Amino acid sequence: MSKQIRRINFLFSQPVASIASMGIVTFSMLVAGCTEQNTETSEAMSPEAVAKRIEPVGKINIIQPEEASATVGTPESVEEETPEAPAPDTGESSLNTGTEEGPPLASEKEAQLLHGKTVVENSCAACHTGKVPGAPVIGNAEDWRPRLVQGEEVLIQHAIQGYKAMPPKGGNFNLSDEDIAAAVAYLISQVR
């Protein structure tokens, strides 16, 4: 019987010894890692190191028009150096769409179509190029024929308020009603 006990002890002693030695090695590594982190942590938490980590990547220098003329080597006003930005949208369009003042002039109609093309390319093309089922494809007369029967005003109303799967203003709420009207005029021009 003593021979069997020795054999059992031998079988259990090797795995236990292996596990114990791995535990000792792991514990040693953890202790060594903690002591290294403590020295690094104290250096990393110094006020200078923290300030360096959280400082802004860049700085913006805004010069007011009054200050711009006082600055050496700059033009008299900021407006001379930067191109004129478009006026903010006040809800009214500068384009004559023919609603109250009669039919638009040819150049105004061309300007409206050019503006509509820009709106379509930037906001409408994502869905109206055949990528979304049910959305009429730009330039496809067959897709637009049933919609054209409703009239341009109904199409504009649907585009502004949303219709079926299309969200209001195609999901771009920055567009004015005049932008939508120009986009619809452009879309219609592509199938006529």
Q: Where are the domains of the chain?
A: 2-54, 106-189
Residues forming beta bridges with residue 163, ordered by sequence position: 166
Q: Which residue has the higher pLDDT, 91 or 137?
A: 137
**Would the pTM of this model clear 0.75, i.e. be above it?**
no
The CA-atom distances, in angstroms, between 95 and each of 89, 105, 111, 179 are 12, 10, 8, 10
Please give the pLDDT value at position 31.
77
Does the pLDDT at position 77 exceed 50? no
Please give the pLDDT value at position 150.
92
3 state SS of 93: coil
> Residue 91 has which token pair?
């809800």
CA distance 191 to 184: 11
Q: What is the pLDDT of residues 138-165, one digit of tens each?
A: 999 999 999 999 999 999 999 999 998 8
The CATH number corresponding to 106-189 among 3.40.50.150, 1.10.760.10, 1.10.510.10, 3.90.280.10 equals: 1.10.760.10
Q: What is the mean pLDDT of residues 19-35?
A: 78
- Of the candidates 126, 123, 107, 102, the one whose C-alpha atom is nearest the C-alpha of residue 176 is 123
